Structure 1
Amino acid sequence: MHFSRCTEIRHTWDIPSIGTLGDGRYHVEGSSRTSPRIAETDSARAAVAMVVDRLPSHCGPAFLGNAEELAACERSRDDG
C-alpha cells in the first residue's frame, strides 16, 4: 500500500509503504522507491503504526493535486 501526500498522479514518494509477505505478515519499506526495508511484522496495525511514526513533519491533510503542484505550493509558502 503506497501512501501519498497528494491526491493525483504523479504521487509523492516521501512516506513509507506497506506490502505483504505472502504468509500473513507485512513489511514496511522506506519512503522512496529505493529505500531499504524498515521492518517486518505480523500485524497490519503494527505496520500502519510504523508508517505513522515516520510521517514527514510537514505532513498534513492530502493536497488536492499532484506532486509537482504540491511542491510548488510548498515553495511559495516557504518563500512567503
Structure 2
Amino acid sequence: MTMDSPGAAIVEAAWQELHGCDRIGAELVAAAYAEPQLRQLFPWVGMWELHFSRCTEARWTWDVPYIGPAAAGPGHCGAYYVAGPSRTQKIGTAATAQEAVAMVVARLPPTCGPAFVGTPEDLAEHERRQRQKP
C-alpha cells in the first residue's frame, strides 16, 4: 500500500484520531505507531484495549494480538498485557508499551500486510482469489 492509496489514507486517519485518545494512553499509541508493521494495520480501541485489524471496515479482523493496560484507571502503572487474537489467549505482560508492541509484532500472522479496504468478508474473498491464481 502506498501512502497515497485510499487504504493508507484511511489507516493514517484512524491512527491520527487515536493520538488524541485518552482511553489507552499516548505512550501506547506512540509505541504502536512507531512500529511500521503495526502502522500499516487499522487501529481501533475497545474495552480500553488497542486492537489492530487487517481490514478497514467494521467488524474488523480478530487475527492479530492486542494490548491493554495491566491496571485501569488513574493508578495505571504503565504495564500492559498482551492477549489474542481471541479473548481466551493470554500472551503475557510487558513493563513498557515498547515491550508490548514487540510482543504483538512477534506474533503477527504471516499474511499480515497493509490493511485491506473493506470488511473481513471482503478480505477473505480477496485472499481466496489470490490463492487461486496460478
CA RMSD of aligned residues (A): 0.9
Counterpart in the other structure of 1:12: 61
Identical columns (%): 54
Distance 2:61 2:55 in 1: 7
Distance 1:67 1:56 in 2: 15
Paired residue total: 79
TM-score relative to the length of structure 1: 0.92
Counterpart in the other structure of 2:81: 27
Q: Which runs of 5+ in 1 are unaligned?
A: none
Shift of 1:21: 1.3
TM-score relative to the length of structure 2: 0.57
Distance 1:58 1:2 in 2: 17
Write the mapping of 1:49-68 to structure 2, written as runs, cut at 5 A: 49-68=102-121
Distance 2:126 2:87 in 1: 23
Moved over 3 A (4+): none
Q: Which runs of 5+ in 2 are unaligned?
A: 1-49, 72-76
Distance 1:59 1:66 in 2: 15
Q: Higher helix share goes to which structure? A: 2
Structure 1 or 2, whichever has the larger Rg, is 2
